């Protein structure tokens, strides 16, 4: 009789643990989605400005911290080195939360199936998202 009671309590504890884990995952996913709102329009604006030759506008979408470490000329050289003009399609991945930052991997795709993955790190500055880091990642 005690064994049946222990088994019944064990399965209830297992279901309670699974429910708590599911609740935690759901809350984390909702928090991530709500906190990352506004990032996709920022990425679109960034690449639209770069594509139209408004590099200064794209540079101003970065944080003061970024601009203190990367000069305008370094930014222009970085963008030129990426050879963005051969890419036509942009696909963003799943955002990742890290402290008060959101990291998003963006994959640029060319017509000949070449991919260029870039990690963008975003921080909120005065209730608006800004680019704090851009890093080329391994394909």
Question: pLDDT for 46-62, tens place per residue?
Answer: 999 998 999 999 999 99
Q: Taking the CA atoms of the chain, what radius of gyration do you get in angstroms?
A: 22
Question: pLDDT for 18-56, tens place per residue?
Answer: 777 777 667 665 665 555 567 888 999 999 999 899 999
Residues 113 and 98 in one domain: yes
Residues 70 and 101 in one domain: yes
Q: How many CB atoms lie within 10 A of CB 133?
A: 17
Residues 72 and 100 in one domain: yes
3-state secondary structure of 94: coil
Q: How many domains does the chain have?
A: 2
- What CATH code is carried by the domain that includes residue 67? 3.10.450.100
Q: Which residues pair with 122 in a beta bridge?
A: 102, 131
Residues 19 and 70 in one domain: no
- Is this model's pTM higher than 0.85 or not? no
Q: Which domain holds residue 87?
A: 38-136
């Amino acid at each position: 009789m005690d064994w049946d009671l222990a088994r019944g309590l064990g399965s209830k504890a297992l279901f309670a643990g699974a429910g708590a884990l599911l609740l935690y995952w759901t809350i984390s996913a909702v928090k991530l989605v709500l906190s990352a709102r506004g990032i996709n329009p920022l990425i679109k604006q960034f690449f639209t400005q770069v594509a139209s030759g408004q590099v200064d506008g794209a540079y101003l979408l970065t944080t003061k911290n970024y601009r203190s470490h990367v000069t305008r000329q370094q930014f222009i050289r970085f963008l030129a080195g990426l050879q963005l003009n051969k890419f036509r399609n942009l696909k963003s991945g799943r955002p990742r939360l890290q402290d008060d930052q959101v990291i998003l991997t963006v994959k640029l795709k060319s017509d000949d199936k070449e991919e260029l993955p870039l990690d963008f790190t975003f921080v909120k500055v005065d209730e608006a998202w800004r680019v704090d880091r851009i890093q080329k990642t391994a394909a």
